[in-house]
Amino acid sequence: MKIRINGDSVRIRLSQSEINTFVHRGEMVSSCRFMNDTLFYKLKHGNYAKLSADFSQNTIAVYIPDEWILNWDKDDRVGFEGKEDNGLYILIEKDYQCLKPRLNEDESDLFSNPQSSVSSYD
């Protein structure tokens, strides 16, 4: 799971296996260790009215309504987006292979890029 924060925007991308785990277990957690502490970021789906997020105890948590996640591991929806009342923009999406392969980067578990006519990973 990858996270990108830019101003009041949080973007999280998931690989194929991460989406499968998330859809079936209801939660996905990842972390980034710093010298003096750890940042956690997690996705949860459940009985939520809308896409929302909070930050507490070194954890960015994003909450997604169950009905949005239903069959996400099997369909062609890229992801979900929403905006909080405070202006925070949230984007959750499938992670696609780059159009140009990068050295030392394993993209074998990423989704085939729909803009690529022939996948170089097959």
Q: 2-94, what's its fold? A: Gyrase A; domain 2 (3.30.1360)
Quote the CA–CA distance of 34 and 48 in Å, as a whole number: 31
The pTM assigned to this predicted structure is: 0.80
The full set of domain ranges for the chain reads 2-94
Provide mean pLDDT across the span 60-76: 93
Quote the CA–CA distance of 21 and 70 in Å, as a whole number: 13
Write down the pLDDT at residue 122: 42
- What would the two tokens of residue 87 be? 């202006």
Q: Which residue has the higher pLDDT, 78 or 41?
A: 41
- Band (pLDDT 50/70/90 cuts) for residue 78 is confident
